[in-house]
Homo-oligomer: A and B are copies of this chain.
Amino acid sequence: MSWLETSIMGRKGVAKGKAGDTHKITIADQGIFHYVYGPYADPVLQVEPGAVVTVETHDAFEGKITKETDTPSEILNFPYLNPQTGPIHVKGAEKGDALAVRILSITPRGEQPVGTTCLIPEFGGLVGTSNTAMLNAPLAERVKKINVDTDGVYWSDKVTLPYEPFIGTIGTSPEIEAISSLQPDYYGGNMDLPDVGPGAIIYLPVNKAGGLLYLGDCHAIQGDGELCGVALEIPSTVELQIDLIKGHGNSWPQLETEEMMMFIGSARPLEDASRIAYRELVRWLAAETGQSETDAYMLLTMCGKVRLGNMVDPKYSVGASIAKRYVK
């Protein structure tokens, strides 16, 4: 765990990246789930920096799609989608700070088949949608229920996919807006980026006192782009360690692992999401190494990496990163 000591959380966290008190939020504790990221809900929990919190999350469908004969459009009730646990108030967090959230573990929760994927009308990467409005008939709705455990995702008799869990939706509250949990943006939200998994630390801008952390929408595995609109959705138990970086001042989510540093942009069209992520990375790299912005720009033209999160949500999400070994 020595890389943690050199991480931003380890070096700059109020708790210096050390684990503090432990807390738990069960489904019952949460009671009422949230469908917007905003400052108008009461915190379900208040914690000190360093807190280790175990959080139970619903799947994105709130567990209402239970069998392959279900019809999503009859069950899902917009805008009451993608239920979020939280918000968690972090003491001392003020506008301009960042919450550091280290993801310790994600475990599937509930009875098999615990995983759900489906086709929802006018939603997905290869179909007309409410925005990319088409006259073509929508694809037929479909549900697939899939067994998942921490050893694998059992797609078929022939194909087992790895269990590569991550948090699809996590973020802080905007200052005065309350935005659908279907959307990703500068505060995080529904980024659907597979890098937001165990071992990573995500730094989320604080826009409102307490930060007000929400999360939900865990995925057992997801391809780049979340092609059909949803991933393999699972209810889960997530273990987080939460720290606070005073005055961190990042405008967009930042993600750190042992190997790399990433920034995450969300926008439409997709090139704008990439531009946001890369501009944040250029500026960070220049500041971190003392290079000029144009030197950083030219270095990234040689070694920058891009991960496509989603190309299906109200904004698309992209992570741009650099291997730490080139940050000198």
Q: Which residues of A contact B (CB under 8 A)?
A: 35-36, 38, 40, 79-80, 117, 119, 124-128, 130-140, 142, 144, 153, 155-156, 158-159, 161, 174-180, 221-232, 265, 267-272, 274-276, 278-279, 282, 293-294, 297-306, 308, 311, 316, 320, 326, 328
Contact = CB atoms under 8 A, between A and B. Distances in A.
A177 B180 contact: yes
Given A79-B176, A230-B301, A270 B267 contact: no
A59 to B, nearest CB: 15
A286 to B, nearest CB: 10
Nearest to A222: B302
Contacts of A153: 302
A82 to B, nearest CB: 12
A134 B133 contact: no
A87 to B, nearest CB: 15
Contacts of A124: 297
A126 B278 contact: yes
Contact of A144 (B180, B230, B298, B326): B298
Given A139-B294, A175-B79, A177-B178, A275 B132 contact: yes
9 contacts: A117-B301, A126-B134, A127-B135, A128-B136, A132-B132, A137-B137, A223-B300, A223-B302, A228-B300
A300 B225 CA distance: 9
Most B CB atoms within 10 A — which of A36, A119, A224?
A224
